[in-house]
A and B are shown apart, each in its own frame.
Chain A
Amino acid sequence: MAERAKPAAVPLVLGDKTPGQVTADITRALERRPGFLWWAAFVPSVAALAVGVAAVVYLLRTGVGVWGINTTVPWGFDITNFVFWIGIGHAGTFISAILYLFRQKWRTSVNRSAEAMTIIAVTCAGIFPMIHMGRVWFFYWMFPYPNTRGPLWLNFESPLVWDVFAILTYFTVSLIFWYVGLIPDLATVRDRTRSRVKRFLFGVFSLGWSGRFRVWHRYETVYLLLAGLATALVISVHTIVSWDFATTVIPGWHTTIFPPYFVTGAIFSGMAMVLTLMLIARKVMGLEAYITRRHVDPMCKVVIVASGLVALAYVTEFFTALYSGNPTEAFAFVNRALGPLGWGFWIMVACNVLIPQLFWIKKVRSTFLLVFVISILINVGMWFERFVIIVATLQRGYLPSSWATYVPTSVEIATLVGSFGLFFTAFLLFARFLPVIAIAEVKGVLGTSRAKGGGPR
């Protein structure tokens, strides 16, 4: 049918650009002063970041008591935010690596910023387990290093230790992956820029890229290998994070479904966040021609799939709990839905399961404003998923005598705001100083050949 043919007809990059124009368009952002929109986004971000910094400083000076957590609910916003951000940090590598392996051409316009997002999100995530410690100044005890304490080392049974390794590995590899992808474009910038400083810096970081055929060939190979490596990590990180809960004896946490459940959830929220950022970048950096329906549409489809998987996980969880005949387990889940934090649960269901279904409608997928709003709602929902899993579960433990409530303090909220501040500040800086779109790769999907006088030079 005609409709099905249509999308193929729509090119990935609009306006039939020549490679030269592509280079010009994308690097322009780096060369001219940022526009009003950029500042409009940047200033609030920095403000939010400042708030967060203040909150953290106060926390470190006064003690963890400035958070609303207590004996019964020893984890609150801190770990919720941690899991949330780690989740966000998934889509980047998912898009770059997995979609690369599957040769999804539409990824080219988004993968660069998706990877940047990954790195920033993982940084945001890393902050929380750090500051949630009672004695942050001893964080290095989490690492295996030679000391004078005789037999005392690390507890390799503890999921928290696994976390440390998993996250650091993921961060490192994502960083390298992102950087390697950047090299040709850095070279492009190096060659175009007029400022001495820039030429020096970009020169150093582009590792003397010459763009000869052999270089390109090796580059492709390295990129492929890294993609393969990163793919494994996408799965591993959140699996291990989920073990923080799955390996405990707490009803509602102690479930084997957690690893796949968390990974799909992560990709789900990650995709949503990519959409959010893409649509922002598109406007702020004036890249309408490069981020088009051809990119947004498939991402929406991925979101629908992920949403379905997440929904499946929710259902399975409840089924096993009620079917298992384990009274405490059953109670934990009934309490999740009907207990004091039931409202959180229903927000989660609404945002993660119901609302994404709108993406079945083509009209919605192609209305960017709607996509933008929904993508944000999804992330709200995913944040509540973690909140419900952690707080609602802890609030109602084994002994009714120790049941308690948890109310976040202003400091906790400020910290959450701050983490978003950090996230957007960092992203906007990236958009300002580095090519947000993989120039070289986009040229690959122009439908024109390098022979037409393109190439990074």
Chain B
Amino acid sequence: MSERKPKDYGKTRGVRGAGEVPAEPEGASPEEGRGVSRREFLAAAGFTLAGAVVAGCARAPVEKAIPYLVQPEHIVPGRAYHYASTCGGCASSCGVVVKNRDGRPIKVEGNAEHPLSRGGLCAVGQATVLGLYDSHRLASPLAGGRETTWAAVDRAVGERLAAIRAEGGAVRFLSGTEASPTARAEIERFLAGFASGRHVEYDTLSSAAILDAHERTHGARLLPRYHLDRSEVIVGVDADFLGTWISPVEYTAGYRAGRTLEGRPPRLSYHVQFESRMSLTGSNADVRYAVRPGDLGVVMDGLARRLAARAGVVVPGEGGGAEPFPAETLDRLAERLWRARGRSLVLCGSQEIQTQLRCNFVNHLLGNYGATLEVARPSFQRRGSDRALEELQRELNRGEVAALFVRDVDPVYDLPDGETWARAMKEVALTVSFAASVDETASVSAYVCPDHHYLEAWRDAEPAAGVFGLTQPALSPLGGTRAMIESLAVWRGEAKAAYDLIREHWEARVYPLAVPERTFRTFWERAVHDGYVEVATEAVAGGEFDMSAVRPGYEAPAAAEGAFALVLYPKVAIVDGHHASNPWLQELPDPVTKAVWDNYACLSPRAAAAQGLAEGDVVRVEAPGGTTAEFPVLVQPGQHDGVVAVALGYGRRETRRFAGIGPRWLEGRPTVEEGGVVGTRAAPFLAWENGTRRYLREGVKVVKTGKRHDLAITQGHHSLSVPPELATPGAETRPIVQETTLPAFVGNPAAGGHPHHNPAPGSREDLWPDDHKYPGHHWGIVVDLNACTGCSACVVSCQAENNLPVVGKDEVRRSREMHWLRIDRYYAGPEAAPTVVHQPMFCQHCDYAPCETVCPVLATVHSREGLSEQVYNRCVGTRFCEANCPYKVRRFNWFHYRRDDERENLVLNPDVVVRSRGVMEKCTFCVQRIQEAKIEAKRQGRAPEEGDIRTACQQSCPAGAIVFGDLNDPRSRVSRLAADPRRYDVLAELNLRPSVGYLRLVRNTA
């Protein structure tokens, strides 16, 4: 069906009003020759004009409707269908539900029943749906960079493989952590056909040290499964587990479960974070210590000693580095951990095996193994081995590899010595990449055999022992792509459909583990329906801990004088750069820095001042060994003074496409120069140290270049306290975010409140007539600031649901970003060690909305259900409403934002109109979902119930921080939370009566 597509007025010409307009004014015709008088001419012209006017008014746009030829069963055009599936965004393999509309997926949402992700979905997962419609994806295989057919590729590859098989050449299959058990099996079967075949896995963001450490301490190379929900004391050492570390959604859900204030006494875990830069996790910690990266090991060692002393275990090694802060800090922490034995968890993101060994040791002393982290039923979200990768690299350089297959990873881009890789790969007899589009590695591979997007394919995954995920296709492939396992099967000589391969594998391997299930068919159908199954698996590794593994003696690397330590970190949206070509992610403000469309060198305020550097100054980062690169400076409070932090995942060749993004006009600047890329590649700075890749370089110089590079940052002011020179007595800070401490809260649930912000119900004085009655529903949202981590998944979810345009870097720089939902991040306290709050901010749907009174044409009015409605087609764009909005949450269409990528437009939500130039827009509480639910309920002859309606932001939130519902319904969760003593309104003193309430932040500090 043709819905919400721009109408084509051009087409109408032939249909109606045709003939009413003479082709041209008679007067202009040759008759002029035989002397037509001026009056005749004018008359003729006049009549023509009259005709044209009439025709013009009568003309109507024609829309065609093209129904099915043969109606498929159970499909009703215009209805949305949801399919359970598994996210293919990364190896975490969260459970998702794909919303399908008229044969195309338009939204990916979390699957609430999934045992790991529990209903949330991160920003990357949300954005994958746009990746599906990426028009730069390959539509056919490439041979030597040229398009070709599968038959041709199969023939060529087949011959090469035959030859290699004959001469017993080495075949290497390089991939990221392969989440799919079927794929693993297929790869093994494929490699088995060769004299020397090996499957090498590595992770762009390596956690190899954790696995290696467990190999030594527990005798099995595994990644434990962490249960943050069971932990009352959480110590994070350089592990950004809420943002980018391994499986953020799963961890956020667990973290949130361990930090609830509903119960009496409230159950609020104590979270201490040691880190060198300001990570999202650190910004949420109760207590946070900025530590020089070299000293993180010292901290872990210090904890180990203290706990060993308490446990009466012989202390491993003597000495230990000088601790960066007074001894009692760790004494107190150790005490607290010790009291929470078996109910605590120490997480370590270090790539230093010694530190990881101590981390295991600490968790072992605390008896956390088997309690808060499992090795018996571990996680499979990270399997990568840096040692294997190093080995492969050596083989390549020695020219010992005959065939190299690359899937899901991009060594030429990911690895520090990418150029060497590129050169080595050219020497390899057969190189095949399964990349979906031509990335750095694909561009040097002989053959590119594009794999499906996960939404087009049958796939499976085993994110953790006993948890199997299933991916079902939500639409048939858009291009001529082919599943990797199908390709392997073909080259193995027995072509088979991916569906059959997976089904067979499950019948053989997964089904037997399932608790007595009648038949495989029912089991399979349940799996497809639910998108996952949980089965019992036998223990992978025993709990026994090998003390001998913990080597004595720990010495921290000495800090070079006057030099910086370079920390290479992943950003929440871009992570490892795998999705760098996704504009939604590029334009998502970083949760901490709020910068978009760039990576940059983060310096602490003091370090920046010392170097005379301001935000936007370009510096050259020089690492020992001659690696250099230039980045703009970003001043980051809370970062250690000796650290310069740079994000990975930028400078990808695939981001060249963004040269044309955003509106073009007189003073408009391109997001990237023609042929340029977004940001700068930082991978060259990565280091190899005894068997692991390090995201840290010591002894780095930061040199001022004098150049400037404007950063696009969505939030210019970071503090709730008024600039001192402007502050008037008594108004130094603004009570926009309210917070209190746990003890205070236990004493008085309303602690930390502000007189204006919690008026007693009756006490509200009012000039307004009480003309807003809500007979039926009164929709509202309550945001729990205690739960919100600022992960920004909701922002992308909103963008996907409401057809928000991508405007490009220059527009963001001019504070014209179009996100309806933004997350305000404020710092408080000293710049060196600030506390951080994240506050989701969107239209508050005030009962007495200032925007509504000032609109001259009634384009924004109040509904009988408490919504502040914005009517795009009535708006004339005076922007008075925006001027009068205290929250500044309205967004104006400054330009006609181009949507000329037909393929990409398939992602548009047909239930939400695409706004035209010159109209105002804003958060609608996802009114299209409200209407849908109400209409469906009416159809079934009932009232909409709690849970029928979930806004996009609420649905995506891994922490369940956003609760939407009917404030008029006393049983609804939202109305209970609205009555919570922690609830307060932002800018309550204006008495606008917002329908959005916030729950006060409670920190677990004394």
Interface core residue of B824, B858, B992 (most chain A CB under 10 Å): B858
**Contacts A70-B816, A154-B858 given: A331-B990 contact, CB under 8 Å?**
no
List residues 173-231 of chain B with CB under 8 A from any CB of chain A.
none
User: Closest approach, in angstroms, between the C-beta of B391 and any C-beta of chain A?
Assistant: 50
- B882–A63 CB distance below 8 A: no
Residues of B within 8 A of A394 (CB): 883
List residues 713-730 of chain B with CB under 8 A from any CB of chain A.
715-720, 722, 725-728, 730
Among B333-341, B740-748, B780-788, B887-895, the one that faces the other chain is B887-895
Among B459-467, B575-583, B873-881, the one that faces the other chain is B873-881
- B731–A71 CB distance below 8 A: no
- B877–A398 CB distance below 8 A: no
- The reply on A409 being an interface residue by CB < 8 A is yes
User: Closest approach, in angstroms, between the C-beta of B717 and any C-beta of chain A?
Assistant: 4
- A135–B876 CB distance below 8 A: yes
- B990–A134 CB distance below 8 A: no
- The reply on B103 being an interface residue by CB < 8 A is no
- B883–A248 CB distance below 8 A: yes
Q: CA of A45 to CA of B806 in the docked complex: distance in angstroms?
A: 42
Q: CA of A250 to CA of B717 in the docked complex: distance in angstroms?
A: 19
**Contacts A58-B666, A63-B917 given: A71-B892 contact, CB under 8 Å?**
yes
User: Closest approach, in angstroms, between the C-beta of A108 and any C-beta of chain B?
Assistant: 41
- Nearest residue (CB) in B for A404 is B815
Q: CA of A66 to CA of B990 in the docked complex: distance in angstroms?
A: 34
For B784-814 the 0/1 string (1 means CB < 8 A from A) is 0000000000000000000000000001001
List residues 873-920 of chain B with CB under 8 A from any CB of chain A.
874-880, 882-884, 886-888, 890-896, 916-920
- The reply on B115 being an interface residue by CB < 8 A is no
Q: How many interface residues does chain A have, given as a range? A: 35 or more
For A392-411 the 0/1 string (1 means CB < 8 A from B) is 00100111111111000111
| A331 interface neighbour in B728, B880, B986, B992, Cβ under 8 Å | B728
**Contacts A64-B918, A327-B731 given: A135-B877 contact, CB under 8 Å?**
yes
- The reply on B36 being an interface residue by CB < 8 A is no
- The reply on B476 being an interface residue by CB < 8 A is no
For A377-420 the 0/1 string (1 means CB < 8 A from B) is 00000000000000000100111111111000111000000000
- B841–A409 CB distance below 8 A: no
Q: CA of A297 to CA of B987 in the docked complex: distance in angstroms?
A: 52
List residues 962-1006 of chain B with CB under 8 A from any CB of chain A.
986-987, 990, 992
- A66–B665 CB distance below 8 A: yes
Among B81-89, B158-166, B849-857, the one that faces the other chain is B849-857
- B879–A134 CB distance below 8 A: yes
- Nearest residue (CB) in B for A248 is B884
Residues of A within 8 A of B715 (CB): 401-402
- The reply on A320 being an interface residue by CB < 8 A is no
- The reply on A448 being an interface residue by CB < 8 A is no
Tally A-B pairs: CB < 8 A: 187
Q: CA of A244 to CA of B857 in the docked complex: distance in angstroms?
A: 15
- A152–B896 CB distance below 8 A: no
For A10-49 the 0/1 string (1 means CB < 8 A from B) is 0000000000000000000000000000000000000000
Q: CA of A338 to CA of B816 in the docked complex: distance in angstroms?
A: 26
- The reply on A141 being an interface residue by CB < 8 A is yes
- B875–A135 CB distance below 8 A: yes
- A133–B855 CB distance below 8 A: no
- B854–A158 CB distance below 8 A: yes
- The reply on A319 being an interface residue by CB < 8 A is no
Q: CA of A432 to CA of B451 in the docked complex: distance in angstroms?
A: 78
User: Closest approach, in angstroms, between the C-beta of A401 and any C-beta of chain B?
Assistant: 4
- The reply on B734 being an interface residue by CB < 8 A is yes
For A276-292 the 0/1 string (1 means CB < 8 A from B) is 00000000000000000
For B74-118 the 0/1 string (1 means CB < 8 A from A) is 000000000000000000000000000000000000000000000
Interface core residue of A75, A135, A164, A325 (most chain B CB under 10 Å): A135
Q: CA of A401 to CA of B790 in the docked complex: distance in angstroms?
A: 14
| B886 interface neighbour in A159, A164, A249, A331, Cβ under 8 Å | A249
The 3 closest A-B pairs by CB, nearest first: A134-B877, A134-B918, A65-B894
Q: What are 20 inter-chain pairs, A to B, with CB distance below 8 A? A: A63-B665, A63-B893, A129-B878, A134-B892, A134-B893, A135-B917, A141-B874, A155-B857, A247-B854, A249-B850, A250-B886, A327-B730, A327-B734, A330-B728, A331-B722, A331-B727, A399-B841, A400-B717, A400-B826, A401-B717
With contacts A64-B879, A74-B892, A249-B884 known, what are 11 further pairs, Cβ within 8 A? A63-B665, A63-B893, A65-B811, A132-B879, A135-B876, A331-B728, A338-B726, A399-B888, A400-B718, A409-B666, A410-B667
